[in-house]
Amino acid sequence: MKKNTKVIVIILVALEIISIYFMYKSSHNKEMKLDNVKLKEDVDYNRFAIYLDGEKYTEESFPTESLLDLEKTKCMNEKGDIIENPKITYTSNSLTIVNTETTYCTLYFNRCTGPTNTVLKGKSDITKCPVGGMYRYQGTDNVNNWICFGTTDKEECTSETGIGKYMYRIIGVTPEGELALIKETGVTGFKWNDKYTTEDCESDGSKCVWPLSKIYNSLNGLCNLNNEHCQEETNIFIGNSYYEYLNEGSIWLNKITNHEWKYGATNGNNGNYDGDSIYIIESQFPNVIPAKIGLQYLHDFYYAYPGGKPKSHDIAKTSWIHLSKDEISGIIDEWLISQSGANSNTISSWAITRYDISNSDLFYSNGVRPVFYLKNDTTFRSGDGSKEDPYIISGMRPS
């Protein structure tokens, strides 16, 4: 009985897709134009039917502020056979279907309403849809995403000395409710490592990747005299006496998740990309290492700009995540987690400069700003997210 029911369902779905296909092929029907859609195959737009919140979508522009429902979306080949598990990549401005067969698809979208089951439910300045895997703050330095971490005393956090120690910014929140934080200020003068030639690092940079860098080890409190990746015994975050609230076993350190950080190299002129394009590249990095502390990705930097499509000079002047926005920060060039691959006879990684993004040789000294994720049981007890009244985490106490 179950087998017959399954057959009937498959037949009905196939008939629906076939009927939609012929409807679009008819000269009496209006052609659907999907703006900003990038298809790997050269297929025409009338191979698609779109539903938004369960109703037929007839607008000529691509649905905005909506998510593709991959479970409902169905594709078939030229013969009308259902394609099982079609490879579809969808971001905020592009849809890519990777398939060897000519494809016809019925796409189902749902409108976004913003984070619902997270601590940022109903907060302003945050995207309605997940962008690059999380709901994100986008805009100028006026976005209300300031948060204290390491103290529950607002006056201590917002004091002149406390800002450098306790003040963070919220990059965004995952659909599961984990908050991504970045240090508002950072430390200067840290090399990726002392290796830099293709001979030192191998031609693919494999001996100088993120887990083998001085920065990774020193951020995560792994530096000691026996650690060959540190060059000297220097922990710049965990294990640093300045951040005593991150001592091993402290309630604050235990609030940070052991996040899986993807790492790898991005080659090419990334200055021509937008946040979505960079996210697709970085989300497909083949390597992963679990750790408490990381750095921001290239896509984090792009996505912080309004709309995720920045222009270099606009970034430096307005994006909230850029330290040089006020031109008084102590950090001018700042390391990112992604390597840029080989550059002539040297190996380099991406860094944020005053006006742009560039590939910086590994032995250069750049700024470092820790990034980490908080567990999804985080709640706020006060604050509106402004610099003057930052979010205070509830259920926490100084260690």
What is the pLDDT confidence band of residue 327, given thresholds at 50, 70 and 90?
very low
Residue 103 shares a structural domain with residue 171? no
Tokens read off for 346: 């040297």
Is residue 120 assigned to a domain? no
Q: How many domains does the chain have?
A: 2
Buried b (16+ CB within 10 A) or exposed e, 192-203: bbebbebebbee
Helix (H, G, I), strand (E, B) or coil at 105: strand
On whether both 216 and 354 belong to a single domain, the answer is yes
Mean pLDDT, the chain, rounded, equals: 81
- Please indicate, yes or no, whether residues 318 and 365 belong to a single structural domain of this protein: yes
Among 43, 76, 111, where does a domain finish? 111
Of 148 and 93, more confident? 148
Q: Are residues 332 and 385 in the same domain?
A: yes
214 within a domain of the structure (yes/no): yes
Between CA 357 and CA 300 the distance in angstroms is: 13
* Amino acid 49: pLDDT: 85
Asked if 310 and 381 sit in the same domain, the reply is yes
Please state, in angstroms and rounded to a whole number, the distance separating the CA atoms of residues 388 and 157: 10
Domain boundary among 59, 78, 111: 111
202 and 281 housed in the same domain: yes
- Residue of 91 and 363 predicted with greater confidence: 363
Residue 381 placed within a domain: yes
Tell me whether residue 116 is in a domain.
no
Q: Could you read off the pLDDT of 163-221 as tens digits, one per residue?
A: 999 999 999 999 999 999 999 988 888 899 887 788 888 877 888 899 999 999 999 99
Query: Can you give the pLDDT at residue 76?
Result: 86
Task: Count the Cβ atoms, other than its own, within 10 Å of residue 168.
Answer: 26
Domain ranges, residue 233: 135-393
Residue 212 counted as domain residue = yes
Q: Are residues 222 and 365 in the same domain?
A: yes
In this prediction, residues 42-65 reach a mean pLDDT of 78
Same domain? 70 vs 181:
no
234 falls within a domain? yes
The stretch 373-396 carries a mean pLDDT of: 92
Which H or E element spans position 356? none
Mean local confidence (pLDDT), 66-76: 87
- Give the pTM: 0.83
Domain identity same for 177 and 298: yes
Q: What is the DSSP letter of 374?
A: E
Q: Do 83 and 231 lie in a common domain?
A: no
Residue 30 has pLDDT above 50, yes or no: no
Reply yes or no on whether the pLDDT at 33 is more than 70. Answer: no
68 confidence band (pLDDT: 50, 70, 90): confident
Tell whether 318 and 169 lie within a shared domain: yes
- Write down the pLDDT at residue 29: 37
DSSP letter, residue 264: -
Could you give the residue ranges of the DSSP H alpha helices within the chain? 2-25, 154-158, 160-166, 198-201, 214-219, 251-254, 275-283, 298-303, 312-318
Among the residue ranges 4-18, 199-213, 241-255, 321-335, the one predicted with the least confidence is: 4-18
Mean pLDDT, range 82-96, rounded to an integer: 75
Q: How does pLDDT run across 230-278, given as a tens digit for each residue? A: 877 889 999 999 999 998 889 999 999 999 999 988 765 665 677 888 8
pLDDT at 302 over 60: yes
Confidence of residue 24 (pLDDT cuts 50, 70, 90): very low
Predicted local confidence at residue 170, as pLDDT: 97
Report yes or no on 104 lying in a domain: yes
Query: Does residue 51 surpass a pLDDT of 50?
Result: yes
Kindly state the DSSP code that residue 315 receives in the 8-state scheme.
H
Say how far apart CA 388 and CA 391 lie, in whole Å. Answer: 10
Q: What is the pLDDT of residue 343?
A: 58
**Is 80 exceeded by the pLDDT of residue 127?**
yes
Question: Of 111, 144, 169, which residue sits at a domain end?
Answer: 111
The reply to whether 129 falls in a domain is no
Do both 101 and 164 map to the same domain?
no
